[in-house]
């Protein structure tokens, strides 16, 4: 074969490979389900509804902790409404999403990358303790709590 013919064959092979790989990429994209599930944007860190499971998983995988409060009375309403701010990191970054859901009985769940915990008959102390255990980055409230506990053990 002539040198020029070899060069043309190589160019055709490379162009054909690129063209076919583009088609394969397009076909595989449709075969695997297309677009990812829609994630609900957060309008607030305190919600009066449950997020979809896909949205919760997305936020949890990005370092957020989700507190779901199922309540029959609203005695904890003011407390849980202030939690996203009081449980912020040392730098002030919010890391907690609170979902307030009306139910017949009162209980709470705390879920993060550190696991899931169910709280029956929750009160402020139980919720704070569970959050200090499950939050990815410990807020000042938890750090001071640990220091106070350590100090009281020394005395």
Q: Examine the pLDDT at 154 and tell me if it is beyond 70.
A: no
Q: Helix (H, G, I), strand (E, B), or coil: what is residue 96?
A: strand
- Eight-class DSSP state of 90: T
Taking a C-beta distance cutoff of 8 angstroms, is the pair 121, 105 a contact?
A: no
- What pTM, to 2 d.p., does this model score? 0.72
pLDDT in tens, 101-116: 999 999 999 999 999 9
At the topology level, CATH places domain 46-145 in Glutaredoxin (3.40.30)
pLDDT in tens, 88-142: 998 989 999 999 999 999 999 999 999 999 999 999 999 999 999 999 999 998 8
Place of tokens 């701010």: 85
Domain spans of the chain, in order of start? 1-35, 46-145
Helix (H) or strand (E) segment spanning residue 61: helix 53-61
């Amino acid at each position: 074969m002539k040198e020029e013919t070899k060069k043309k064959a190589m160019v055709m092979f490379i162009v054909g490979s690129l063209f076919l790989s583009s088609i394969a990429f397009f076909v595989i994209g449709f075969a695997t389900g297309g677009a990812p599930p829609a994630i609900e944007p957060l309008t607030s860190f305190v919600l009066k509804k449950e997020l979809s499971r896909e949205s919760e998983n997305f936020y949890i995988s990005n370092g957020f902790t989700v507190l779901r409060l199922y309540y029959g009375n609203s005695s904890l309403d003011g407390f849980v409404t202030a939690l996203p701010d009081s449980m912020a990191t040392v730098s002030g970054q919010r890391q907690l999403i609170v979902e307030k859901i009306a139910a017949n009985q009162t209980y709470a769940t705390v879920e993060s990358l550190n696991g899931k915990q169910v709280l029956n008959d929750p009160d402020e102390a139980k919720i704070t303790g569970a959050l200090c255990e499950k939050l990815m980055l410990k807020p000042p409230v938890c750090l001071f709590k640990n220091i106070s506990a350590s100090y009281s053990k020394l005395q």
